[in-house]
Amino acid sequence: MPSVFDMYPYSLYIKLIAQKVREIIDQLLKDHSLNASQAILLSHIHQSIEENMEINRKFLEKTMALSGPSVTNLLNGLEKAGFITRSSNPADGRNLRIEVTAKAKQFLNERSDAFSKSEELITEGMSDAEKAMFASLLTRAFENVENHLSK
């Protein structure tokens, strides 16, 4: 009997796993009025601010590999839910300054375990060595497609 992986391309499994993981994370974040994409962006904004990087939409588009409208939509949701504020940058009025609110800092400090729980689900039943190999293979696969696209 052929393996399921012989019947379908890897890309289908990667897509399906990503969709299911996003659903799980969204469920785990529901009480915080966040979805997975917003939580990732919020964490990225907070980390970038901690590293004294200037945060603007163009920076977020590039570092998060998202389109301008997608970043704007996510920022609008974060602002509406009270996780960030946006204001004009005093040094350059054409750019917005993005800051995290106390509500966001509380969420980030308490840090919902949504992402670690999803990783536990993905790697359930794997030994530590298998988990390390899995992470290594995922990294290599990502680098392969990233390098192919940048050629």
> What CATH number is attached to the domain comprising 78?
1.10.10.10
> Can you give the length of the chain in residues?
151
Asked whether residue 9 is domain-assigned, the answer is no
User: pLDDT tens digits for 1-14?
Assistant: 566 667 778 888 88
What is the C-alpha to C-alpha distance for residues 103 and 109, in angstroms, rounded to an integer?
Answer: 10
Does 49 fall in a domain? Answer: yes
| Residue 146 pLDDT | 85
What pLDDT is recorded for position 64?
86
* Residues 35-94: tens digit of each pLDDT: 989 998 999 999 998 998 878 888 888 888 889 899 999 999 999 999 999 887 777 766
Domain contains 106? yes
Residue span of the structural domain in which 58 resides: 33-111
Express each pLDDT in 85-134 by its tens digit: 988 777 776 677 889 999 999 888 876 677 788 889 899 999 999 999 99
Count of domains forming the chain: 1
Q: Is residue 76 part of a domain?
A: yes
**Mean per-residue pLDDT for 21-27?**
89
Indicate the helix (H) or strand (E) that contains 4. helix 4-7
